[in-house]
Structure 1
């Protein structure tokens, strides 16, 4: 399946790219005519309409360093994901008009705290590894947070000393909270691919989300108790079952007694339905 094309409506009238996508209004016809004439002039004076990706790539690096997500760079420069990653990899040549649009992009203010600063990447790496251990592929994780799968693979396989931009850590933490406790097979990942992803993660010693609390990921001294016969989530479900049966407490009160969020208890019961119990409030 080919990459999706940018529709004509993404460009203003008078832009040659809108003409090439089917608009034949007077403004677009005039715009493409001017582009053709300019191309002739550039060729006549020993120049061309294409250039190397170097200047654009350096500018994209500066935008990323300032905390600007790739999807916003693509939107402001009106380029596809394919074009952006060709620029980043410095592959081939691009049109001078594309370079001009990329160079015109200015960093946006972002609502993510400290987006331009570096922070320890341990929690980011651990969260992505835990999701892989649950069966979430790098391609699916990348799609859900607007990144290429190779970027996810890069983060998963980095040493614990890696640092990441704050906005990267925030996106990954948000993604983890959305997927924690969900089964990939029920959310778009084919069962055989999810199984293969889990097997590869297990071979690397990565532990799934059931072995972690959210605060544990960023603690360099925390290590999942892999030698235990059961996961922490299993133990929470079992203990919660006993507390709710013997005391009559509801889920929220039981979760508070066990020192976990109610959502964590919900996930524990979902993973271990043999302990699931409902008590009237």
Structure 2
């Protein structure tokens, strides 16, 4: 026989337990039910279709229904019946679900923390973080080592449009750990650090200071090399600090001339 269910309302009704915990749980449930009925809010079940559609949509993000159930804290059996019905008994997918179950499932979102490790996502933030670290003097070999990647995979990642979720998380952790750390003081030979910086400059990679934490992951954002990028003043600062003029500054000058 399976283990006894925990004390509470279900145990009160199904196992007829009359301990203080079960009695109180039953009273609380009944009081809440009566109060909800009185206020016209009692809904023992809600339409299952929006919930089913949400769970299926999460599957398109690589979050399987079993993982959704675990993230929501609901039974896998209940989610299976929601999607596929009870096949051994020939029952169709659930038409209704309890409101609390619906809310828990609908609360699961396709955010980075919930996605599978291999799910491909936009690589803008990852590229920018790794390129900024190279600009700071970190060699790609050292960054690859710290991320647990081989050099060839790292070389693809640093310019890739799409990267896996696990790589995004690893790049964020690495960036947070070392963006203020001197690579030479951490063991990177000075001549290799200088070579890394030259590679970054030749590729037009932006330094750490050009990115804002709130926009570094936004594909539409551009690096603010000067503190005035995207304005006519930005081009003058580019010349002063001897950094090639960025596209937003070129466009700002064109717009100003055309005005």
Same fold (TM over 0.5): no
TM range (shorter): 0.3 to 0.5
TM-score relative to the length of structure 2: 0.42
Larger Rg: 2
